[in-house]
Structure 1
Amino acid sequence: MAGVTNGPFRELCREQGGGLYVSEMITSRALVERNPKTMAMIRFGRDETPRSLQLYGVDPETVGRAVRVVAEEGLADHVDLNFGCPVPKVTRRGGGAALPYKRELLRAVLRAAVAGAGTLPVTMKMRKGIDDDHLTYLAAGRIAVEEGLSAITLHGRTAVQHYGGVADWDAIARLKDAVPEIPVLGNGDIWTAADALRMMDRTGCDGVVIGRGCLGRPWLFRDLNEVFDGGDAAAAPTLGEVAATMARHAHLLVECFGREPHGVLDFRKHVGWYLKGFTVGTELRRSLATASTLAELEAHLARLPAEQPWPGHAADGPRGASGGRTRVHLPEGWLDDPEARTVPVDAELDVSGG
């Protein structure tokens, strides 16, 4: 969710419903070294609470120092460690979804994070493993419990699956059975509030984590609030209501970045997600996705047929990255010894962001 879950998008989602809204993934080294881009990315809104910061790291010492900075300087109220990212620039350094294969290195990273956090809760997100021949989630779950983590999120896919295929919700149920001591949160293929209820009923998990499901759908959190309180999800928005949300999103981005061209440019990637399933002509879609000013964007939004109803199932389902991979990029010899604690050379990325 790099480049998506920035401050403006989190604010937009918080306006819809309650929840814990996590920052973009921040690299531990960049935080320790005070990289200017990273320090800008960890700014939270004045009324944003709790403030949740997600960290990436491979080296226990660097991760421990980064978490200590967060705790001692009051930068956030919660630290989430990302062991689920499958992108090559992360896994080829031993990070993200690659790291739990190294059980003792994982333990050292978690121990350092918890020690540095003081009273802050530390959680982690992970995948099932590298591939079906190298599953790690049950062992990693036990290590998390033993090292004092507050909760675990499991994305029901392996790293090689990337975002292809169907999430394995049964794996979430198995993890829940294996680690009854702490909450287990489920992630993967939650596109609607009804999906969240089905996951919780099927797996017994304690809650859900939303990733791609909120792309172009910030009102999903409103729907989740409603159904978790025993009610029904609100009526799906018309295209006019979606257009109003799009305009609000773009304005928040401009306010955050302080430069209109930057904010509008950043908004462009969201256009296709918001309009998925709606009947909108190719020319108008292109105009919305290439607007360079707020006035231009709003003029094009005004051309959308405001009364067009929600398109139903055509609007649900995958958005964002999809499809599997033929292999996972790993450091040389990474699979040779799962007990090895050696940190790969240049494992720590020096800048955050997608």
Structure 2
Amino acid sequence: MSNVLVLLLAQVLTGSGLTAVVLFGGILSAELSPNPAWATAPVSLAVVGMALSTLPASLVMRLTGRRRGLIAGASVGILASLVCTYAIAQTSFVLFCFGSLLFGTATAFTVQYRFVAAESVPAERASRAISYVLLGGIGSALIGPQAAMAARAWWVQHEYAGSFVVVGLMYALGALVLRKLRPTESKTITSSSDGPPVRALIRDPLLRKAVIAGAVAFGTMSFIMTAAPVSMHSIHHHSAEAITWTIQSHILAMYLPSLFSGQLIARFGERAMMIVGSLLLAASALVSFVGHDVSHYGIGLVLLGAGWNLLFTAATALLATHYTGPERHRAQGINDFVVFSSQACVSLLAGLAVTRLGWEWTNLSVLPLLAVMIWIACRKLPSPAHVYRVEGLADK
């Protein structure tokens, strides 16, 4: 079994943890928390846990290897499931929040799958491998929630406890699948050094471009996606069915382009796809500005998902194909820390923005950021000579 297929299957199985927190966190918090204002705390803590765990996850994999590190991440997901199950049984809001935080930590390992996929194939096929692994997000978004919902009444006295048992079983299956992962470390040059220091990497303009593109992709997508259900329900009073349909369409638009985004990046290059992705995100904001019918929400969020996919996949491909030596762990850790910290911040701000500014101006507020992103993408990429490819050597 190829590494890419292993990682795609693992993505389907282990990508369900954060989805479960998003789906059930608000419902359970309403029952467990002493204050309704804390209902979003589990989701926020999961995102914060993911952001805080990105650098430690990269360090663990640098020390133990990819396979052992990713299995350790899946094991954290199993522990998170057990903690949440026990918290529901004990009606403990604090324990449930702790379990949600652990789900964020497990997700910090899961988001590394895309880099491992890129390391497992020749450089010219890296963008395709990344897009195929991201395609597993469709499976985790569809299979995980359905399985968890089917098990919510397993424990009659404690609704949704069975849901987290199922999530834990999916993480366990994911860990078993990851045992089939073949080592990728042998493909890189090794020595006694750990590569250039963090300060030198941060000064590299290529790394900065990849990090900014990933942060803009995730930041814009999370900001608008988080605000959309609030706006549809509280401001424009659309039905729950309309909101569900809109969010499902958005999730499909996030991952379905992975069927061809890798080929587009391989043919036209990362810079061109960064520009196209940014333009799609801008088009999403403009569609949402001109109207607030369900159709406007639907089209806007589909464009938002497609733009995220192209911009984020291009950023990941740029990072994965240009940092292939031992410095890749640090570069990937820096990237994910910035990207998911940005996501955590904007997710917390989205509700405030849409209630204060309104849906239309919330969308327009992202346009200056996207204009800067397009300007950065249009600038010529550094030559390969400036990339750290051999351990312990700085760019020449």
TM-score range, shorter chain: under 0.3
Greater strand share, structure number: 1
TM-score under structure 2 length normalisation: 0.25
| Greater relative contact order (Cα < 8 A, sep 6+) | 2
Greater helix share, structure number: 2
